Structure 1
């Protein structure tokens, strides 16, 4: 092969990069439809978004963020809005006892000063005496995951939260009305 042929071939190639916030192009970059620039900007934005996602808890290849307020002001409807507005998914599921225990370990230190407990919404639902994932699929968790005297059989107590006390003897999931106000939400990304 001729060297000239190789040189001509490489001269046709355009390599575009973003370096220190500026577009740098090397090679034959006469193409001016801006597709390379748009692609690079999207790639840069996506990489930045991924770097910003912080998982408070990782479990079974899933990422969970915990949002806690120092006041009882979060209804279930608020919890959905919180997760969406912060771009951190939707209210989370609890998949098994191991997952719940991991969450409890991360939730207990988040109890605000002066409080003895916090309540946090999940995305799970309790209907017709059955615990359901946010997707609608049923899940069976051992009875020991429920807070004492729960689940409540009242049909209006459809949404599921987690109660965490400083004293680890008192903890577990509970069902309540969606208008009940608690401290926050666990979001699943």
Structure 2
């Protein structure tokens, strides 16, 4: 029995030694139980390793916390919707910033359709539709991305009677009805201080 214990002890020591060995000139740094553990040729003692590892750990945690409602061409979109019209466009900017995002663009017809399908699932049982802000603008009779660049989205996505040509109606939203075939739904332009039920953010 003592022989078995000795053999196990030798394997344990060899395993620990192998784990600690790193190629010459290398430094391996890890955070173990909240402490910086370094193995190898680690000459830096200025705290930069611990700062780098903490930043990496926080970045990984932040990425893990982001949940996308819709993903389109590697871009992440999240919708924030309330039961009443209480979100101006400026409120929407703050909401998106709180999620490390910005008011979203709608890039093309396929993207519009996928967002519309998702938004339809957010309509409450007591309501028939929702209307929320995007990050897009309508200026000089042209639908623009938040960056100011043009978009190729089809004109049939507009709500009936829109876009309006009023100069102050610069911000663009989306109205979605529970019934996918209902004719009165689509994108609209409106004054930025008008209130809508939420916003779609690009994270």
User: TM-score with structure 1 length normalisation?
Assistant: 0.88
Task: List per-residue Cα deviations over 1:59-86 (Å, max 9, x = no partner).
Answer: 1121111111111100111111111122
RMSD (Å) for aligned C-alpha atoms: 1.7
Counterpart position of 2:7: none
Tell me if 1:75 matches 2:108. Answer: no
Counterpart position of 2:186: 172
Aligned residues: 180
Offset, 1:171: 2.2
Tell me if 1:63 matches 2:76. Answer: yes
Matches of 1:186 and 1:90, distance apart in 2? 9
Offset, 1:47: 1.1
**Where does 1:33-182 land on structure 2 (aligned, <5 Å)?**
33-87=46-100, 89-168=101-180, 169=182, 170-182=184-196
Offset, 1:152: 1.3
User: TM-score with structure 2 length normalisation?
Assistant: 0.82
Counterpart position of 1:4: none
Matches of 1:129 and 1:136, distance apart in 2? 13
Counterpart position of 1:3: none
Offset, 1:13: 3.9
Matches of 1:21 and 1:52, distance apart in 2? 21
Matches of 1:99 and 1:166, distance apart in 2? 18
Matches of 1:25 and 1:17, distance apart in 2? 7
Q: Which runs of 5+ in 1 are unaligned?
A: 1-6
Matches of 1:114 and 1:21, distance apart in 2? 49
Q: Which runs of 5+ in 2 are unaligned?
A: 1-20
Larger radius of gyration: 2
1:110 alignment partner, SS class: coil
Matches of 1:136 and 1:146, distance apart in 2? 19
Matches of 1:134 and 1:28, distance apart in 2? 49
